[in-house]
Structure 1
Amino acid sequence: MLHIINKSPYCNGSFDMALRFALPGDPVLLIEDGIYAGRAKGCSAEKLANALSQHEFYALIADVEARGVKDLNEAVQVIDYDGFVELVEQHKVNTWL
């Protein structure tokens, strides 16, 4: 299952909830303000680092650029809208609000 997170970890618990319910191997897509969970330093950096062994993480490039984020964890794969569509086509989706 693809887990999509669109809320900032600074003001919402969706990142934590997604990690608790995601099964090993489930990909996680960070979009909109959810991309802040992919930062190398920040409130979710340790949780992200621990989760990288079980999940592939993706961040939507348009949202990364729109927010000026330059410090994504290097393991977070930056994808465009075509990559987003491919993930959605390949997996059932759960969006964490």
Structure 2
Amino acid sequence: MTTLHTLNQAPSNVNLMQSCVGSLQPDDTLLLIEDGVYWLLNTHRAKLPAALKIKALRLDAQARGLTPLVSEVDLIEMDEFINLSVLHNKIVSWF
């Protein structure tokens, strides 16, 4: 069973991210939304396990001026978010 985890909290909420990462299984996906996209900044991204499948909403990254700074992460559109929601067996929201 696969799970889509959505996280909308900024890096200031380290405990929430640690709980989220601790619950991820190998086939799960982490989708960063809203202020969660700040985890894409290199200083914060380096704190996350390299093996994580991480995606982020492009509109949220753009709204926060992060798209020029983001690399190695799949920035997705809203229709892809919907597709991920359908492809995974369940969704867990971390907020």
- Asked whether the two chains share a fold, i.e. TM above 0.5, the reply is yes
Q: Which residue identity does 1:82 align to in structure 2?
A: D
Q: Counterpart in 2 of 1:47?
A: 47
Structure 1 moving runs of 4+ over 3 Å: none
Q: Does 1:61 align with 2:58?
A: yes
* Residue segments in structure 1 that go unaligned for 5+ positions in a row: none
1:24 to 14, 23, 26: 26
- Which of 86, 91, 94 is 2:92 aligned to? 94
Deviation at 1:52, TM superposition (A): 2.9
How big is the shift at 1:93? 0.3
Q: Structure 1 vs Structure 2: percent identity of aligned residues? A: 32
- How far the C-alpha of 1:7 sits from its partner, in A, is 0.6
Question: TM-score scaled by structure 1?
Answer: 0.84
Q: What is the TM-score when the length of structure 2 is the normalising length?
A: 0.86
AA aligned to 1:75 is: E
How many residue pairs match? The answer is 91
- C-alpha distance in 1 between matches for 2:75 and 2:27: 18
Give 1:71's aligned residue. 69
Structure 2: which 5+ runs fail to align? none
Quick one: distance in 2 between partners of 1:88 and 1:66?
23
